[in-house]
Amino acid sequence: MSPEEWHLANDDSPLDYAAALRRTEGDAGLLSDLARIFLDDCPRLIAKIRTAVSNAAPRQIEHAAHELKGCLGNFSAAPAFEAAEKLEMLARDGQIADAVTAAGQLEAELGRLHPALERLITRPI
Amino acid sequence: MTILVADDDKVHVHLLTALLKKRGFSVSIAYDGLQAWSTALRSRPEAIILDIHMPAGTGFEVLRKLKTSTKTSQIPVIVLSGSVNADEIVTIETLGADRFLQKPADLEQLFDALGGLLNLTRGTNEVA
C-alpha cells in the first residue's frame, strides 16, 4: 500500500500526505529526504524534551517543544504539531504537572507519526 | 543571486534550499546566530531568510546587527518565527525586518515576499 493509499484508508492519519507533498511542490523524493532528516534528528529532540521535563524546567521544556514543533510543521503532521504546541504553551505558563502529561501525549503522537514517515522513505508516493 | 537561509531546523533548511535552487538561486546556510552573522558578512547574500529562534545568538541579535551594520543594512531580511507573541513581532518590526512570516511558513507567500523584495517577476519568482 502506498503512503497515499494508507492515508486515505486511515481517517485518523498522523500526517496529511497531500498537504506535505504540496509543500515540496509535488517532489516525492524531496519529501522522502525531509522524512529521513527528521527521523535522524528526532531522538535528539525527544531526549531534549525528556531531560527538560525530568528537570521540571519550564523554559527548557518550552524551547525543546518549540524546536520540535517547528520541525513537525514541515510535514503537515497536525496531531503531533498540536501536541508539541500544547506542551510549549503549558511550559510557557509554568504548568509543569500538565506539561508532564502533555509530553507523554506528544511522545504518543510521535510514535504514530514515525511509521508514517518511514513509509515516505521506503515507499515514496 | 545568493540567499542566506539561517535556521536551526534542518528539515526546513533542506526544504527551502531545494525549492530556492529550483528557482535558480544559490543558497548559503547557517544553523545558528553566529554562523548567520559571519556568513552574511562573508557572502553578502542578496536576501536573508532568518529564523528568529536559533542557538548561539538569537535571530533578534542577528537582525539587529544586520540592520545596524553599513555592510549589511541594505540586505532584505525575511524573518520567520513560530511564536505568536505580539511583543516579539513588534520587536522584529522595530529592528527593521523587511517581512515577517509565521512558521510554518506558507511557502508561496514566502517566495512571493522574496520575489517582491528582489524585484523579480511576480508569479515565477525565478532568477532571470
Each residue's pLDDT tens digit in chain A (125 positions)?
A: 555 555 554 557 899 999 999 999 999 999 999 999 999 998 999 999 999 999 999 999 999 999 899 899 889 899 999 999 999 999 999 999 999 999 999 999 999 999 999 999 987 55
In a domain? residue B115: no
pTM assigned to the model: 0.87
Closest listed residue to residue A91, CA positions, set A48, A68, A62, A50: A62
Number of domains making up chain A? 1
What distance in Å separates residue B128's CA from the closest CA in chain A?
A: 21
Angle in degrees, 0-180, between the axes of helices B86-94 and B59-68, rounded to the nearest 10 = 20
pLDDT in tens, B42-91: 999 999 999 998 877 788 999 999 999 999 999 999 999 887 678 888 89
Inside any domain, residue B114: no
Domain containing B23: what range?
Answer: 2-48+56-89+98-104
Tell me, what CATH number does A27's domain have?
1.20.120.160
B21 near A CB under 8 A: no
Q: Are B52 and B60 in contact (CB under 8 A)?
A: yes
Cell of residue A97, nine digits? 504537572
Contacts of B9 in chain A (CB under 8 A): 67, 70-71, 74
Domain with residue B17: its CATH number is 3.40.50.2300
In a domain, B117, yes or no: no
| DSSP symbol at A6 | H
**CB-nearest partner of A70 from B19, B103, B107:** B103
- Domain span at A38: 3-122
Work out how many CB contacts closer than 8 A connect A with B.
51
3-state secondary structure (DSSP) of residue A56: coil
pLDDT for B122 equals 47
Return the pLDDT at A82: 95
Q: Which residues of A touch B22 (CB under 8 A)?
A: 25
- Asked if A70 has any chain B CB less than 8 Å from its own CB, the reply is yes
Angstrom distance (rounded) from CA B70 to CA A100 = 47
| ipTM value | 0.84
Phi, psi (degrees; rounded to nearest 5) at B79: -95, 135
Q: Is B12 on the interface with A (CB under 8 A)?
A: yes
Q: Where are the alpha helices (DSSP H) in B69-102?
A: 86-94
Q: Please give the torsion angle defined by the CA atoms of residues A97, A102, A104 and A106, in that order, rounded to the nearest 10 degrees.
A: -160
List CB contacts (< 8 A) between B104 and chain A.
70, 73-74
Q: How many domains does chain B have?
A: 1
**Alpha-carbon torsion (A70, A76, B87, B66), positive or negative:** positive
- Residue keyed to cell 545568493: B2
Task: Give yes or no for A24 touching B (CB within 8 A).
Answer: yes
Does some domain include residue B35? Answer: yes
Q: What share of chain A is helix, strand, coil (3-state, %, to 5)?
A: 80, 0, 20
Q: Name the residue type at position A4.
A: E
Write down the pLDDT at residue B50. 96
Residue at B38 is within a domain: yes
Model confidence over B85-122: pLDDT tens digits? 788 888 999 999 999 999 888 999 999 999 999 986 54
